[in-house]
Amino acid sequence: MDLDLRKLRYFVAVADRLHFGRAADALHIAQPVLSRQIRALEQDLGASLFTRDRHGVALTDAGRQLLADAGPLLASADAVRRRVTVAARGSRRLMVGFRAGIAVTPAVRLFADRHPDVLVDVQRIEWDDQAAMLLDGRIDVGYVRLPIDEAGLRVTPLYTEPRVAVLPAGHRLAGRERIAQADLAGEPLVWHADVGTQPTRRPHPNAGYLVRGVDETLEHVAAGRGISFLARSATVFYSHPEVSYVPVPDLAPEQVCLAATESRTSPLVDAFLTAAQATADITAECGNYEMWQRGSDVG
């Protein structure tokens, strides 16, 4: 029995909303049609996926398992579709994703010298889409920061880099040459959702602001809503007149890696990995201390 991807998409729509009517509206189909498709999927799988009663709709154990497996499967199908479309145009193209502060130019230049017939494009990615964009084919390879959900991915470490505290310009510790994490105990923290890159929660209460990127981080810190922490390289590329960057040597460093999908075999991806490894020292140097220390207040 082949799994029908259309039925699987219908299932995910219902599972995400736990409401057949809202799912049907989102899919632009009639609710009876959606219900029939879900029943057909249950028959195909030989398992009940939802319970339906007067209290509403809920996933069964089988439904929860299918929902966990559906995301990577649908993403893989989307990736295949994108790659076929590119191939049909007769072009060779590599899309490289990168997190804020990571300089991809050295690797891109080296790769382009070795593969002048390949068009290399770049796209910035954030903590919450770095894995998804790889799995669904929006990017072919990505410079990522740990942690990342490594399911379905090949993740190759490249280098580590120190982190700095991001403080309001008027903060009592702004302008210091360096500080310890303990100096900031009790300070409210503006959180990235990739909390593995942040210090432990214990000494830093949640300021109540969940940020997605560096720009949002700087604005919240500048407004005095809390402090934050960034990889040192990000401070080279991003500045704010109301923010001060101060090194924190006892913070665990950030790990920068190159990631690609595990299931895909691609000579171009392998060649880019080789270029990324060969230029890792240069890329790391772009965040070098001397490049941004013109006094710790960057504006």
Residue count (the chain): 299
Q: Per-residue confidence of the chain (299 residues) as pLDDT tens digits?
A: 578 888 888 999 999 999 999 999 999 999 998 999 999 999 989 999 999 888 789 999 999 999 888 887 777 777 677 667 656 655 578 999 999 889 899 999 999 999 998 989 999 998 888 898 999 889 999 999 998 989 899 999 999 999 999 999 999 999 899 999 999 999 999 977 554 444 545 578 888 888 888 999 999 999 999 999 999 988 888 889 999 999 999 999 999 999 999 987 789 999 999 999 999 988 887 655 444 343 333 33
- Per the domain annotation, does 49 fall within a domain? yes
Domain containing 205 — which CATH number?
3.40.190.10
Both 145 and 195 in one domain: the answer is no
Task: Work out the angle between the directed axes of helices 105-114 and 267-278 (0-180°, nearest 10).
Answer: 130
Q: What pLDDT, on the 0 to 100 scale, is given for residue 109?
A: 93
Q: What pLDDT, on the 0 to 100 scale, is given for residue 216?
A: 92
Both 270 and 144 in one domain: the answer is yes
Both 9 and 150 in one domain: the answer is no
DSSP β-bridge partners for residue 191: 210
Both 155 and 282 in one domain: the answer is yes
Both 245 and 268 in one domain: the answer is no
- Per the domain annotation, does 83 fall within a domain? no
Domain containing 72 — which CATH number?
1.10.10.10
Both 134 and 182 in one domain: the answer is no
Which tokens hold the place of 56? 């509403």
- Per the domain annotation, does 86 fall within a domain? no
Task: Name the CA radius of gyration of the chain, rounded.
Answer: 23
- Per the domain annotation, does 70 fall within a domain? yes
Domain boundaries, position 194: 161-252
Both 212 and 287 in one domain: the answer is no
Both 180 and 243 in one domain: the answer is yes
Among 51, 76, 101, the domain boundary falls at: 76
Both 98 and 151 in one domain: the answer is yes
Both 145 and 206 in one domain: the answer is no
- Per the domain annotation, does 155 fall within a domain? yes
Both 266 and 247 in one domain: the answer is no
Helices (H) and strands (E) in the chain, counts: 11, 12
Q: What pLDDT, on the 0 to 100 scale, is given for residue 100?
A: 87
Domain count, the chain: 3
DSSP 108-160: HHHHHHH-TTSEEEEEE--TTTHHHHHHTTS-SEEEEES----TTEEEEEEEE
- Asked whether the bond before 267 is cis by omega within 30 degrees of 0, the reply is no
Among 53, 76, 99, the domain boundary falls at: 76
Neighbours of 39 (CB within 10 A): 14
Among 28, 52, 76, the domain boundary falls at: 76
Q: CA-CA distance, 231 to 216, in Å (whole number)?
A: 15
Q: What pLDDT, on the 0 to 100 scale, is given for residue 291?
A: 41
- Per the domain annotation, does 299 fall within a domain? no
- Per the domain annotation, does 243 fall within a domain? yes
Both 155 and 259 in one domain: the answer is yes
